[in-house]
Amino acid sequence: MYAYDELDRTLINERVSEFRDQVKRRLSGELTEDEFKILRLQNGVYLQLHAYMFRVAIPYGTLSSKQLRRFAHVARRYDRGYGHFTTRQNIQFNWIKLAELPDALADLAEVGIHAMQTSGNNMRNVTSDQWAGVAPGEIEDPRIWSELIRQHTTLHPEFSFLPRKFKIAITASEHDRAAIKIHDIGLRLHKNADGETGFEVLVGGGLGRTPFIAKTIKPFVHGRDVLSYIEAILRVYNQYGRRDNIYKARIKILVHELGIEKFAKEVDEEWKQMGDSELRLDHAAIEEVRSRFSYPPYEKLPHMPDELKQAAHDPLFERWRKNSVAPHKVQGYSIVTLSLKPVGGPPGDATAEQMDALADLADKYSFGEIRVGHEQNLALPHVAKRDLPALFKALDRLGLATPNVNLVTDIIACPGLDYCSLANARSIPIAQELTRRFANHDTADLIGRLHINISGCINACGHHHVGHIGILGVEKNGEEFYQITIGGRADENAQMGTLIGPAVPYAEVADVIEDIVEAYLALRDRPEELFVDTVKRLGVEPFRERVYATR
Amino acid sequence: MTSPLEQKKIKITGPSVVTANRTWDGAVVYRTAQKGWSTELADSAVVSTSDDARALLAEANADDVGAVGPYIAPVELKDGGKVKPGNLREQIRAKGVTIDLQVPA
Residue A206 falls in which region: left (phi positive, over 0), alpha (psi -120 to 50) or beta: left
- The domain locations on chain B are 12-86
- The rounded distance, in Å, linking the Cα atoms of A416 and A433 is 15
| Residue A134 within a domain | no
Q: Which amino acid is at B65?
A: V
pLDDT of residue B8: 56
Q: Do B5 and A50 touch (CB under 8 A)?
A: no
Q: Do B26 and A429 touch (CB under 8 A)?
A: no
pLDDT band at B104 (very low <50, low <70, confident <90, very high): very low
User: Average model confidence (pLDDT) for chain A?
Assistant: 96
- The rounded distance, in Å, linking the Cα atoms of A466 and B11 is 38
* Chain A touched by B81 (CB under 8 Å): no
Candidate from A97, A428, A478 with C-beta closest to B24: A97
Does residue A528 sit in the same domain as residue A430? yes
pLDDT of residue B105: 41
* Chain A touched by B105 (CB under 8 Å): yes
Does residue A101 sit in the same domain as residue A148? no
pLDDT band at A4 (very low <50, low <70, confident <90, very high): confident
| Residue A270 within a domain | yes
Identify the closest residue of chain B to A424 by CA–CA distance: B1
Does residue A252 sit in the same domain as residue A315? no
CATH of the domain at A98: 3.90.480.20
Average pLDDT over every residue of B72-78: 95
pLDDT of residue B4: 60
* Chain A touched by B60 (CB under 8 Å): no
* Chain A touched by B97 (CB under 8 Å): yes
Q: Which residues of B touch A478 (CB under 8 A)?
A: 1, 87-88
Phi and psi (nearest 5°) for A325? -105, 130
User: Is it the case that residue B80 has pLDDT exceeding 90?
Assistant: no
Among residues A489, A449, A492, A173, the alpha carbon closest in space to that of A323 is found at: A449
Does residue A265 sit in the same domain as residue A391? no
* Chain B touched by A456 (CB under 8 Å): no
CB A414 within 8 A of CB A453: no
Report the number of distinct structural domains present in chain A.
4
DSSP characters for A50-93? SSEEEEEE-GGGEEEHHHHHHHHHHHHHHSSSEEEE-TTSEEEE
* Chain B touched by A52 (CB under 8 Å): yes
User: Average model confidence (pLDDT) for chain B?
Assistant: 90
> Shortest Cα distance from B73 to chain A (angstroms)?
13
Does residue A157 sit in the same domain as residue A204? yes
Task: Record the pTM.
Answer: 0.95
Q: Which of A290, A317, A341 is the last residue of a domain?
A: A290
Average pLDDT over every residue of A235-255: 92
- The rounded distance, in Å, linking the Cα atoms of A187 and A189 is 6
Average pLDDT over every residue of A528-550: 97
Q: Which of A290, A319, A339 is the last residue of a domain?
A: A290
Average pLDDT over every residue of A117-129: 91
CB A413 within 8 A of CB A87: no
User: Is it the case that residue B5 has pLDDT exceeding 90?
Assistant: no
Q: Do B101 and A480 touch (CB under 8 A)?
A: no
CATH of the domain at A279: 3.30.413.10
Q: How far is the first Cα of chain B from the last one, in angstroms, to the nearest whole number?
A: 23
Does residue A41 sit in the same domain as residue A178? no
Average pLDDT over every residue of A446-458: 98
Identify the closest residue of chain A to B65 by CA–CA distance: A29
Torsion of CA B27, B28, B31, B37, to 10 degrees: -20
* Chain B touched by A166 (CB under 8 Å): no
pLDDT tens string A271-285:
999 887 889 999 999
